[in-house]
């Protein structure tokens, strides 16, 4: 047995065992995170903090799902925010017009998102790079203008007003602030866990391969178009869930939810946190929201401060915070080993 | 939806002339912004997301110069020259640092400057709507063509934009500088190996693009209201124009701009609330049938 074969033989059982172990680890981290978040209201009575976590859940789901496209598949979508808006509007409209229970409305919203995302995705994913970015942006603006002009359904530029009814279900009363908080956390943690599973699955590795070399992927027999469309629809579902949380939080839906700036912010969050790690977008979300809240309180010239921070990341660090941290950690670990 | 108004307008020559002129005005302003975008993309391979800011600065520079000097020509000159300088500095100091980086980084740097420039304008000129006012030389009775109203200023605007198109087209095709620029777009490494300073060309093209956008802003100042953030809608529309016309094509930008101008002008009659939607719909249709735009070359 050559050295190489021996190595390979030793490798096989380990690599088979690894996915299983990782999955248990992910689930336990998710459970622990959820428990910590759920216990928070018992110790800290601050409503502002709970609001902050709810907003983080909405934008975190949105940004992480965008990273499935940008970071894992290399599809720079500039219109991902349309699904955020679509989720908020579909959920709000279903609740206002039909009065079905919340879970039914949630599932119906996901069904609507799947259909819309499949249609738009089928058109968009054929295009490459900057053209893909533009067509998704165009669709985003198309949906935004539709919301603005279809006044009888959506309320036009006033948005969905009059509040979204939130009848209690399974003992969960979403009009109660703590219940809403815990539901958001549950949605966030479940969403992140599911996306993590997608990212670590063989399908997730197929996506990385498409990102690195789409031609090679199609030579080894992968249907690139179908894989891209699948991840486009899946990412849309999580973005739409973020929109649902937002609609529940503000008890309404506004055209700004579907405006292109939401997509811009999503991309920015990804860059801020870093696209190479799974939790990078989540870190970016927290950073951006803190930045948002502190800067708007301190100065009216919010744009200048935010702009300078972006420049610092884009020209100074040239990568997101998590990317930077991971690289720094890897360097520190390998540093002494090289010397010794 | 208001199709009766639209068909009614199409039937009357007066309305047809008025709407076509207003379509041309929108189109020509868009063309000046879009052609800068398309040039910068063609040569530098950068999508200048902050191009709308140059349009905005052009308008504000022109307004200030006009208020200080009272000369319309000087106002135009200030708008164009000021933004050219701004473009040069912006490219040399910031954009040149992210040429090697991926598209996302370039978009972010531009996005940062959209935010910064809007706030700078808000600091200097204040957040409220401003207007420059029509210069007295153009405060004359409008022309009547086939019953439609055409203000003389509109003719000047169309004239300036069309001559810019011709000068640019001929300049790129016939002059030595134009040839060098086209060569730099094609193969910058070779051009620089031949002893030509490509940094200077890049800066120059960016300045030229900025100048055209600034000129558009200055020309628009008498007929539009000025506000921080005014560049944004123009930016999005000129993106649509470049994408429809094909990135990197000047003729494409001209045709695309006129098409979008007409869609806006006539669409506002037939679909008052969905005018913007019509543009996006048109863009989607063009991109789906011809992904590289009407006049774009196949990208490798």
- What the block records as the tokens of A172 is 């969960």
- What the block records as the tokens of B149 is 């109203």
What is the pTM assigned to this prediction? 0.80
CB-closest option in B105, B274, B287 to A134: B287
Positive or negative CA dihedral for A27, A29, A34, A35? positive
Collapsing DSSP to helix, strand or coil, A169 comes out as strand
Does residue A13 register a pLDDT over 70?
no
| pLDDT of the residue at B211 | 93
Q: B143 φ, ψ to 5°?
A: -85, 150
Does residue A14 register a pLDDT over 60?
no
CA-based nearest residue to A312, from A272, A279, A285: A272
Which tops the pLDDT comparison, B106 or B206? B206
Contacts of A168 (CB under 8 A, 6+ apart): A174, A175
DSSP collapsed to 3 states, chain B:
CCHHHHHHHHHCHHHHHHHHHHHHHHHHHHHHHHHHHHHHHHHHCCCCCCHHHHHHHHHHHHHHHHHHHCCHHHHHHHHHHHHHHHHHHHHHHCHHHHCCCCHHHHHHHHHHHHHHHHHHHHHHHCCCCECCCCCHHHCCCCEEECCEEECHHHHHHHHHHHHHHHHHHHHHHHCHHHHHHHHHHHCHHHHHHCCCCHHHHHHHHHHHHHHHHHHHHHHHCCCCCECCCHHHHHHHHHHHHHHHHCCCCHHHHHHHHHHHHHHHHHHHHHCCCCHHHHHHHHHHHHHHHCCCCCCCCCCC
Q: Which residues of A177-191 are buried (b: 16+ CB within 10 A; e: fewer)?
A: eeebbbbbbebbbeb
CB-closest option in A126, A268, A302 to B111: A268
pLDDT, tens only, A231-251: 999 999 999 999 999 988 888
| pLDDT of the residue at A234 | 93
In angstroms, the separation between the Cα of residue B120 and the nearest Cα of chain A is: 8
Does residue A168 register a pLDDT over 90?
no
Interchain CB distance below 8 Å, B276 and A304: no
B75 in Cβ contact with B62 (< 8 Å): yes
Mean pLDDT of B52-73: 89
Interchain CB distance below 8 Å, B104 and A135: no
- ipTM strictly over 0.95? no
State the Cα torsion A257-A262-A263-A265 to the nearest 10°.
-160
Interchain CB distance below 8 Å, A141 and B287: no
What are the chain A neighbours of B113 within 8 Å (beta carbons)?
307
Q: Does A122 reach chain B within 8 Å, measured CB to CB?
A: no
Average predicted confidence (pLDDT) for chain B: 84
């Amino acid at each position: 047995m050559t050295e190489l074969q021996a190595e390979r033989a030793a490798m096989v059982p380990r690599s088979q065992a690894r996915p299983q172990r990782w999955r248990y680890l992910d689930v336990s981290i998710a459970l622990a995170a959820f428990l910590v978040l759920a216990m928070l209201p018992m110790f800290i009575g601050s409503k502002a903090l709970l609001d902050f976590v709810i907003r983080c859940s909405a934008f975190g789901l949105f940004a992480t799902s965008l990273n499935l496209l940008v970071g894992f598949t290399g599809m720079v979508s500039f219109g991902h925010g349309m699904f955020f808006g679509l989720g908020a509007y579909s959920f709000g409209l279903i609740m206002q017009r039909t009065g079905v229970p919340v879970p039914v409305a949630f599932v119906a919203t996901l069904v609507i998102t799947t259909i819309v995302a499949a249609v738009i995705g089928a058109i968009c994913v054929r295009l490459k790079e900057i053209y893909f970015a533009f067509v998704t942006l165009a669709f985003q603006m198309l949906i935004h203008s539709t919301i603005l002009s279809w006044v009888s359904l959506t309320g036009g530029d006033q948005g969905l007003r009059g509040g979204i009814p939130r009848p209690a279900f399974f003992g969960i009363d979403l009009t109660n602030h703590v219940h809403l908080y815990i539901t958001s956390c549950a949605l966030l943690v479940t969403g992140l866990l599911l996306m993590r599973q997608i990212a670590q699955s063989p399908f997730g590795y197929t996506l990385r391969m498409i990102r690195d070399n789409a031609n090679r992927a199609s030579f080894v027999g992968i249907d690139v178009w179908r894989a891209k469309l699948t991840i486009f629809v899946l990412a849309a579902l999580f973005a739409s869930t973020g929109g649902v949380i937002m609609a529940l939080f503000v008890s309404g839906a506004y055209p700004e939810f579907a405006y292109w700036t939401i997509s811009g912010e999503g991309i920015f969050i990804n860059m801020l946190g870093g696209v190479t790690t799974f939790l990078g977008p989540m870190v970016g979300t927290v950073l951006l929201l803190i930045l948002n809240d502190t800067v708007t309180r301190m100065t009216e010239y919010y744009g200048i401060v935010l702009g300078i921070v972006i420049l610092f990341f884009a020209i100074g660090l040239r990568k997101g915070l998590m990317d930077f941290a991971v690289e720094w950690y890897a360097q520190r670990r390998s540093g002494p080993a090289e010397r010794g | 939806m208001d199709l009766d108004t639209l068909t009614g307008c199409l039937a009357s020559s007066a309305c047809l002339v008025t709407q076509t002129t207003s379509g041309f005005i929108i189109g020509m302003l868009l063309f000046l912004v879009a052609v800068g975008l398309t040039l910068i993309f063609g040569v530098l391979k950068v999508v200048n997301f902050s191009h709308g800011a140059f349009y905005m600065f052009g308008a504000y520079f022109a307004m200030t110069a006009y208020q200080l000097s009272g000369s319309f020509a000087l106002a135009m000159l200030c708008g164009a020259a000021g933004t050219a300088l701004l473009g040069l500095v912006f490219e040399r100091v910031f954009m040149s640092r992210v040429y090697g980086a991926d598209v996302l980084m370039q978009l972010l740097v531009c996005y940062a400057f959209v935010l910064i420039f809007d706030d700078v304008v808000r600091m200097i000129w204040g957040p409220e709507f401003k207007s420059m006012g029509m210069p007295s030389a153009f405060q004359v009775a409008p022309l009547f063509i086939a019953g439609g109203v055409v203000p003389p200023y509109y003719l000047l605007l169309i004239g300036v934009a069309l001559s810019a198109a011709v000068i640019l087209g001929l300049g790129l095709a016939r002059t030595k500088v134009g040839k060098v620029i086209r060569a730099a777009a094609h193969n910058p490494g070779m051009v620089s190996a031949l002893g030509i300073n490509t940094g200077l060309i890049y800066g120059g093209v960016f300045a030229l693009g900025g100048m055209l956008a600034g000129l558009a802003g200055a020309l628009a100042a008498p007929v539009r209201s000025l506000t921080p953030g005014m560049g944004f809608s123009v930016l999005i529309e000129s993106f649509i124009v470049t994408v429809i016309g094909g990135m990197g094509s000047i003729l494409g930008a001209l045709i695309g701009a006129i098409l979008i101008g007409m869609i806006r002008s006539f669409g506002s009659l037939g679909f008052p609330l969905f005018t913007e939607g019509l543009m996006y719909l048109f863009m989607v249709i063009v991109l789906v049938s011809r992904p590289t735009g009407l006049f774009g070359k196949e990208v490798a």
